């Protein structure tokens, strides 16, 4: 539910404990799973979402590769992370919200976590939208 200003103030949901995602051994599958982190108990992190550097497959084919630079090749967002990521190690990879894998950036400081997206995951929701 949202308040008069449009801010989310309440989320109503149910859990299907008999589904595969609910931890049961049933073959029942749900369409989607919501993951959440308590903002009060979470760690803040900078998350760098890297994308393709160029907008075309062969950027130097026309002579000026700079004309094909992707202005959206890096998006920086701020996120809330599980407290366990305070012990993250650069050589390990972490999956965030079933969207992509991330690695700890070498520039991370004790009081400033930084994660870099290394690869995205297949978007099954986009696939469903194309079917409809």
pTM above 0.75, yes or no: no
- Pair 77, 110 in one domain: yes
Cα dihedral sign, 34-40-42-48: positive
- Sorted by sequence, the CB contacts under 8 Å of residue 68 that are 6+ apart come out as 54, 55, 56, 59, 62
- Pair 3, 53 in one domain: no
Of residues 94 and 97, the one with the higher pLDDT is: 94
- Pair 75, 127 in one domain: yes
For residues 43-64, one letter each, b for 16 or more C-beta atoms within 10 angstroms of the residue's C-beta and e for the rest, the string is: bebbbebeeeeeeeeebeeeee
Per-residue pLDDT of 39-86, as tens digits, reads 899 999 999 999 899 999 999 887 889 999 999 999 999 999 999 999
Q: How many structural domains compose the chain? A: 2
Average pLDDT value over all residues in the chain: 84
- Pair 97, 119 in one domain: yes
Which residues span the domain enclosing 11? 1-34
CATH code (residue 86): 2.40.240.10
Per-residue pLDDT of 118-131, as tens digits, reads 988 876 555 555 66
- Pair 50, 28 in one domain: no
Q: Residue 3 half-sphere exposure, CB side, CA atoms within 13 Å?
A: 4
Sequence-ordered alpha helix ranges (H) in the chain: 124-131
């Amino acid at each position: 539910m949202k308040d008069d200003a449009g801010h989310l103030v309440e989320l109503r949901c149910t859990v299907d404990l008999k589904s595969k995602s609910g931890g049961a051994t049933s073959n029942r599958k749900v369409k989607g799973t919501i993951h959440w982190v308590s903002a009060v108990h979470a760690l803040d992190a900078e998350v760098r979402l890297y994308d393709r550097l160029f907008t075309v497959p062969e950027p130097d084919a026309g002579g000026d590769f700079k004309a094909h630079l992707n202005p959206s090749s890096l998006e920086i967002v701020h996120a809330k992370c599980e407290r366990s990521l305070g012990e993250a190690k650069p050589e390990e990879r972490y999956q965030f919200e079933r969207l992509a894998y991330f690695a700890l950036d070498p520039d991370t400081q004790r009081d400033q976590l930084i994660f870099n997206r290394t690869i995205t995951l297949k978007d099954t929701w986009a696939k469903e939208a194309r079917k409809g």
